[in-house]
Protein backbone atom coordinates (compact mmCIF):
# COMPACT_ATOMS: atom_id res chain seq x y z
CA UNK A 1 0.00 0.00 0.00
CA UNK A 2 1.32 3.44 -0.96
CA UNK A 3 2.53 5.51 1.96
CA UNK A 4 3.72 9.08 2.36
CA UNK A 5 7.19 8.83 3.88
CA UNK A 6 9.59 11.48 5.15
CA UNK A 7 13.19 10.22 5.20
CA UNK A 8 15.75 12.18 7.23
CA UNK A 9 19.28 11.51 6.02
CA UNK A 10 22.15 11.39 8.48
CA UNK A 11 25.42 13.18 7.79
CA UNK A 12 27.18 9.98 6.67
CA UNK A 13 24.74 9.80 3.75
CA UNK A 14 26.31 12.95 2.26
CA UNK A 15 29.84 13.39 3.53
CA UNK A 16 32.42 10.68 4.20
CA UNK A 17 36.16 11.41 4.25
CA UNK A 18 36.24 13.46 1.04
CA UNK A 19 34.67 16.94 1.43
CA UNK A 20 35.12 17.85 -2.25
CA UNK A 21 32.11 18.21 -4.55
CA UNK A 22 33.05 14.96 -6.30
CA UNK A 23 33.42 13.18 -2.97
CA UNK A 24 29.99 14.26 -1.78
CA UNK A 25 28.39 13.45 -5.12
CA UNK A 26 29.85 9.95 -4.87
CA UNK A 27 28.44 9.54 -1.36
CA UNK A 28 25.01 10.71 -2.52
CA UNK A 29 25.05 8.27 -5.45
CA UNK A 30 25.49 5.52 -2.83
CA UNK A 31 22.63 7.04 -0.80
CA UNK A 32 20.34 7.28 -3.84
CA UNK A 33 20.83 3.55 -4.49
CA UNK A 34 19.04 2.80 -1.20
CA UNK A 35 16.47 5.62 -1.34
CA UNK A 36 15.28 4.43 -4.73
CA UNK A 37 13.83 1.35 -3.01
CA UNK A 38 11.12 3.58 -1.48
CA UNK A 39 10.25 4.95 -4.91
CA UNK A 40 10.35 1.56 -6.62
CA UNK A 41 7.92 0.28 -3.97
CA UNK A 42 5.47 3.02 -5.03
CA UNK A 43 5.69 5.31 -1.99
CA UNK A 44 5.47 9.12 -1.93
CA UNK A 45 8.85 10.40 -0.77
CA UNK A 46 10.05 13.57 0.95
CA UNK A 47 13.77 13.65 1.72
CA UNK A 48 15.37 15.86 4.35
CA UNK A 49 19.05 16.03 5.21
CA UNK A 50 21.67 17.51 7.49
CA UNK A 51 24.37 19.98 6.45
CA UNK A 52 26.49 20.58 9.57
CA UNK A 53 29.91 19.91 7.98
CA UNK A 54 28.98 21.61 4.72
CA UNK A 55 27.67 24.83 6.23
CA UNK A 56 30.62 24.97 8.64
CA UNK A 57 33.11 24.52 5.83
CA UNK A 58 31.34 27.15 3.72
CA UNK A 59 31.40 29.67 6.56
CA UNK A 60 35.09 29.00 7.11
CA UNK A 61 35.86 29.45 3.40
CA UNK A 62 33.95 32.73 3.38
CA UNK A 63 35.65 34.03 6.49
CA UNK A 64 39.10 33.29 5.07
CA UNK A 65 38.30 35.18 1.87
CA UNK A 66 36.14 37.95 3.32
CA UNK A 67 36.91 41.59 2.63
CA UNK A 68 35.04 44.82 3.29
CA UNK A 69 33.79 44.81 -0.32
CA UNK A 70 33.07 41.06 -0.33
CA UNK A 71 31.90 40.13 3.18
CA UNK A 72 31.10 36.63 4.40
CA UNK A 73 27.43 35.64 4.44
CA UNK A 74 25.51 34.98 7.72
CA UNK A 75 24.59 31.48 8.90
CA UNK A 76 20.99 31.54 7.61
CA UNK A 77 22.20 32.41 4.12
CA UNK A 78 24.89 29.72 4.27
CA UNK A 79 22.19 27.20 5.20
CA UNK A 80 20.21 28.28 2.13
CA UNK A 81 23.30 27.95 -0.06
CA UNK A 82 24.03 24.42 1.13
CA UNK A 83 20.36 23.45 0.77
CA UNK A 84 20.79 24.33 -2.88
CA UNK A 85 24.09 22.53 -3.46
CA UNK A 86 23.14 19.32 -1.65
CA UNK A 87 19.70 19.32 -3.25
CA UNK A 88 21.30 19.68 -6.68
CA UNK A 89 23.62 16.74 -6.06
CA UNK A 90 20.88 14.57 -4.58
CA UNK A 91 18.38 15.31 -7.35
CA UNK A 92 20.87 14.21 -10.01
CA UNK A 93 21.88 11.12 -8.03
CA UNK A 94 18.25 10.02 -7.68
CA UNK A 95 17.45 10.61 -11.37
CA UNK A 96 20.52 8.57 -12.36
CA UNK A 97 19.61 5.70 -10.03
CA UNK A 98 15.98 5.62 -11.15
CA UNK A 99 17.09 5.59 -14.80
CA UNK A 100 19.05 2.40 -14.07
CA UNK A 101 15.78 0.88 -12.82
CA UNK A 102 13.79 2.12 -15.85
CA UNK A 103 11.83 4.49 -13.62
CA UNK A 104 11.06 8.13 -14.37
CA UNK A 105 9.97 10.53 -11.63
CA UNK A 106 10.13 14.30 -11.33
CA UNK A 107 12.48 15.38 -8.55
CA UNK A 108 12.77 18.87 -7.07
CA UNK A 109 14.41 20.70 -4.19
CA UNK A 110 12.58 23.43 -2.31
CA UNK A 111 14.38 26.00 -0.19
CA UNK A 112 12.71 25.61 3.17
CA UNK A 113 12.33 28.26 5.87
CA UNK A 114 11.63 27.11 9.41
CA UNK A 115 10.05 29.48 11.92
CA UNK A 116 11.62 29.68 15.39
CA UNK A 117 10.94 31.90 18.39
CA UNK A 118 13.18 34.83 19.29
CA UNK A 119 12.61 33.94 22.94
CA UNK A 120 13.79 30.33 22.56
CA UNK A 121 16.34 29.76 25.36
CA UNK A 122 18.70 28.19 22.81
CA UNK A 123 19.72 31.71 21.72
CA UNK A 124 21.27 32.24 25.16
CA UNK A 125 23.17 28.94 25.10
CA UNK A 126 24.74 28.08 21.69
CA UNK A 127 25.16 24.30 21.47
CA UNK A 128 24.92 23.07 17.86
CA UNK A 129 28.37 22.20 16.45
CA UNK A 130 29.07 23.12 12.83
CA UNK A 131 32.13 22.91 10.67
CA UNK A 132 35.45 21.11 11.07
CA UNK A 133 37.37 20.20 14.20
CA UNK A 134 40.08 22.78 14.97
CA UNK A 135 43.19 22.63 17.11
CA UNK A 136 43.42 25.01 20.04
CA UNK A 137 45.73 27.25 18.03
CA UNK A 138 43.39 27.32 15.02
CA UNK A 139 40.44 28.01 17.30
CA UNK A 140 42.21 30.96 18.94
CA UNK A 141 42.99 32.49 15.54
CA UNK A 142 39.37 32.27 14.39
CA UNK A 143 38.08 33.66 17.71
CA UNK A 144 40.23 36.73 17.15
CA UNK A 145 38.72 37.18 13.67
CA UNK A 146 35.07 36.52 14.57
CA UNK A 147 32.75 36.51 17.57
CA UNK A 148 32.20 32.75 17.25
CA UNK A 149 31.70 30.50 20.29
CA UNK A 150 33.68 27.24 20.44
CA UNK A 151 33.50 24.09 22.56
CA UNK A 152 35.83 21.13 22.90
CA UNK A 153 34.29 18.01 21.39
CA UNK A 154 35.20 14.69 23.02
CA UNK A 155 38.93 15.27 22.83
CA UNK A 156 38.79 15.55 19.03
CA UNK A 157 39.37 19.29 18.92
CA UNK A 158 37.28 22.46 19.06
CA UNK A 159 34.14 23.16 17.03
CA UNK A 160 32.13 26.29 16.48
CA UNK A 161 28.69 26.18 18.11
CA UNK A 162 25.58 28.20 17.26
CA UNK A 163 22.07 28.36 18.79
CA UNK A 164 19.74 25.46 17.97
CA UNK A 165 16.15 26.61 18.58
CA UNK A 166 13.16 24.30 18.20
CA UNK A 167 11.08 24.58 15.01
CA UNK A 168 7.60 26.08 15.37
CA UNK A 169 6.37 26.04 11.78
CA UNK A 170 7.49 25.29 8.21
CA UNK A 171 6.83 28.23 5.88
CA UNK A 172 6.73 26.17 2.67
CA UNK A 173 4.90 23.10 3.95
CA UNK A 174 1.78 23.68 1.78
CA UNK A 175 4.03 23.72 -1.29
CA UNK A 176 5.85 20.58 -0.13
CA UNK A 177 2.50 18.85 0.36
CA UNK A 178 1.26 19.91 -3.06
CA UNK A 179 4.45 18.70 -4.72
CA UNK A 180 4.34 15.25 -3.16
CA UNK A 181 0.61 14.92 -3.93
CA UNK A 182 1.52 15.47 -7.58
CA UNK A 183 4.05 12.64 -7.57
CA UNK A 184 7.20 14.76 -7.24
CA UNK A 185 10.07 13.37 -5.18
CA UNK A 186 10.65 16.35 -2.90
CA UNK A 187 13.89 17.34 -1.18
CA UNK A 188 13.12 19.80 1.62
CA UNK A 189 14.20 21.00 5.04
CA UNK A 190 17.90 20.75 4.21
CA UNK A 191 20.15 21.33 7.20
CA UNK A 192 17.11 21.65 9.46
CA UNK A 193 15.80 24.50 7.31
CA UNK A 194 16.67 28.18 7.07
CA UNK A 195 15.98 29.60 10.56
CA UNK A 196 13.65 32.60 10.49
CA UNK A 197 11.66 34.63 12.99
CA UNK A 198 8.54 36.68 12.27
CA UNK A 199 8.88 40.44 12.75
CA UNK A 200 5.91 42.63 11.82
CA UNK A 201 4.60 39.82 9.65
CA UNK A 202 7.88 39.44 7.72
CA UNK A 203 10.27 36.47 7.86
CA UNK A 204 13.80 37.42 8.89
CA UNK A 205 16.77 35.06 9.03
CA UNK A 206 18.65 34.52 12.30
CA UNK A 207 22.07 33.14 13.23
CA UNK A 208 21.16 29.57 14.20
CA UNK A 209 21.06 25.98 12.99
CA UNK A 210 17.95 23.87 13.59
CA UNK A 211 18.34 20.17 14.36
CA UNK A 212 17.37 18.40 11.14
CA UNK A 213 15.55 15.58 12.97
CA UNK A 214 13.21 18.03 14.72
CA UNK A 215 12.66 19.93 11.46
CA UNK A 216 11.99 16.64 9.65
CA UNK A 217 9.43 15.70 12.29
CA UNK A 218 7.67 19.04 11.88
CA UNK A 219 7.49 18.58 8.09
CA UNK A 220 6.23 15.00 8.50
CA UNK A 221 3.48 16.09 10.90
CA UNK A 222 2.34 19.03 8.75
CA UNK A 223 2.11 17.02 5.50
CA UNK A 224 0.35 14.15 7.31
CA UNK A 225 3.05 11.59 6.56
CA UNK A 226 2.34 7.95 7.32
CA UNK A 227 5.92 7.30 8.35
CA UNK A 228 8.97 9.24 9.51
CA UNK A 229 12.21 7.39 8.85
CA UNK A 230 15.29 8.79 10.60
CA UNK A 231 18.47 7.31 9.16
CA UNK A 232 21.61 6.98 11.23
CA UNK A 233 24.73 4.81 11.38
CA UNK A 234 23.15 1.77 13.08
CA UNK A 235 20.27 -0.59 12.23
CA UNK A 236 18.61 -0.22 15.64
CA UNK A 237 18.41 2.06 18.64
CA UNK A 238 19.98 0.25 21.58
CA UNK A 239 19.80 0.42 25.35
CA UNK A 240 22.95 -0.14 27.44
CA UNK A 241 24.90 0.85 24.32
CA UNK A 242 28.43 -0.58 24.07
CA UNK A 243 27.97 -2.58 27.28
CA UNK A 244 27.88 -6.38 27.69
CA UNK A 245 24.11 -6.25 28.18
CA UNK A 246 23.41 -4.06 25.10
CA UNK A 247 19.95 -4.78 23.67
CA UNK A 248 18.51 -3.60 20.36
CA UNK A 249 15.03 -2.11 20.32
CA UNK A 250 12.85 -3.44 17.49
CA UNK A 251 9.16 -2.65 17.96
CA UNK A 252 8.64 -0.26 20.86
CA UNK A 253 5.83 1.97 22.10
CA UNK A 254 6.18 5.62 22.99
CA UNK A 255 5.55 5.06 26.72
CA UNK A 256 8.31 2.45 26.86
CA UNK A 257 10.94 4.48 25.04
CA UNK A 258 10.13 7.56 27.16
CA UNK A 259 11.11 5.52 30.22
CA UNK A 260 14.46 4.78 28.57
CA UNK A 261 14.95 8.53 28.11
CA UNK A 262 14.31 9.03 31.84
CA UNK A 263 17.01 6.41 32.48
CA UNK A 264 19.49 8.41 30.34
CA UNK A 265 19.84 5.58 27.84
CA UNK A 266 20.40 7.84 24.82
CA UNK A 267 23.30 10.24 24.28
CA UNK A 268 22.44 13.96 23.95
CA UNK A 269 23.46 15.34 20.57
CA UNK A 270 23.51 11.82 19.12
CA UNK A 271 20.65 9.33 19.50
CA UNK A 272 18.55 11.36 21.95
CA UNK A 273 17.26 14.01 19.48
CA UNK A 274 16.37 11.28 16.98
CA UNK A 275 14.32 9.45 19.60
CA UNK A 276 12.70 12.70 20.77
CA UNK A 277 11.78 13.66 17.20
CA UNK A 278 10.27 10.21 16.63
CA UNK A 279 8.18 10.48 19.81
CA UNK A 280 6.93 13.96 18.89
CA UNK A 281 5.84 12.73 15.46
CA UNK A 282 3.86 9.84 16.95
CA UNK A 283 2.19 12.15 19.47
CA UNK A 284 1.13 14.46 16.63
CA UNK A 285 0.09 11.58 14.38
CA UNK A 286 -1.06 8.62 16.47
CA UNK A 287 -1.75 6.48 13.39
CA UNK A 288 1.76 6.95 12.04
CA UNK A 289 5.02 5.10 12.58
CA UNK A 290 8.48 6.43 13.27
CA UNK A 291 11.51 4.37 12.35
CA UNK A 292 15.15 4.81 13.32
CA UNK A 293 17.53 2.66 11.30
CA UNK A 294 20.44 2.74 8.86
CA UNK A 295 20.54 3.60 5.17
CA UNK A 296 21.68 0.06 4.38
CA UNK A 297 18.68 -1.44 6.21
CA UNK A 298 16.03 0.23 4.03
CA UNK A 299 15.30 -2.88 1.96
CA UNK A 300 14.82 -4.94 5.15
CA UNK A 301 12.58 -2.21 6.54
CA UNK A 302 10.37 -2.32 3.45
CA UNK A 303 10.24 -6.10 3.23
CA UNK A 304 10.31 -7.23 6.85
CA UNK A 305 9.77 -4.07 8.93
CA UNK A 306 13.14 -4.35 10.64
CA UNK A 307 14.78 -1.46 12.45
CA UNK A 308 13.57 0.38 15.55
CA UNK A 309 9.86 0.99 14.90
CA UNK A 310 8.10 3.33 17.32
CA UNK A 311 4.29 3.45 17.56
CA UNK A 312 1.67 4.89 19.86
Which position among 51, 191, 212, 289 bears the catalytic label? Answer: 212
128 is a catalytic site residue: yes
Evaluate whether 40 touches 105 at the Cβ level (below 8 Å): no
Which position among 160, 218, 274, 289 bears the catalytic label? Answer: 274
11 is a catalytic site residue: yes
**Strand partners for 205:** 196
* Helix, strand, coil percentages, rounded to 5, for the chain: 45, 25, 35
218 is a catalytic site residue: no
- What secondary structure, in 3-state letters, does 203-226 show? EEECCCCCCHHHHHHHHHHHCCCC
Which position among 10, 11, 50, 192 bears the catalytic label? Answer: 11
CA atoms within 13 A on the CB side of 69: 0
Burial class (CB in 10 A: 0-12, 13-18, 19+), 25: middle
Which position among 56, 57, 128, 160 bears the catalytic label? Answer: 128
> What are the start-end ranges of the E strands in 235-282?
237-239, 247-249, 251-253
274 is a catalytic site residue: yes
- What secondary structure, in 3-state letters, does 5-36 show? EEEEECHHHCCCCCCCHHHHHHHHHHHHHHHH
User: Quick check: helix, strand or coil at residue 303?
Assistant: helix
Question: How far apart, in Å, are the Cα atoms of 226 and each of 4, 44, 176?
Answer: 5, 10, 15
R_g over Cα of the chain: 19
Active site amino acids: 11-12, 128, 212, 274
Amino acid sequence: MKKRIVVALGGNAILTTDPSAKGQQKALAHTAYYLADFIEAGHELIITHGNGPQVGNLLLQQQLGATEKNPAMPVDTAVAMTQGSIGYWLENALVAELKKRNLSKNTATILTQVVVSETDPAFQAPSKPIGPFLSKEEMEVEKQQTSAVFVEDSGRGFRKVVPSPKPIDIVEYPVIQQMVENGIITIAGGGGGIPVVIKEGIYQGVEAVIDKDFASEKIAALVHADMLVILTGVDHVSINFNQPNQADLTKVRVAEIEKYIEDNQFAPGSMLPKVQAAITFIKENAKGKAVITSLENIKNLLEEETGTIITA
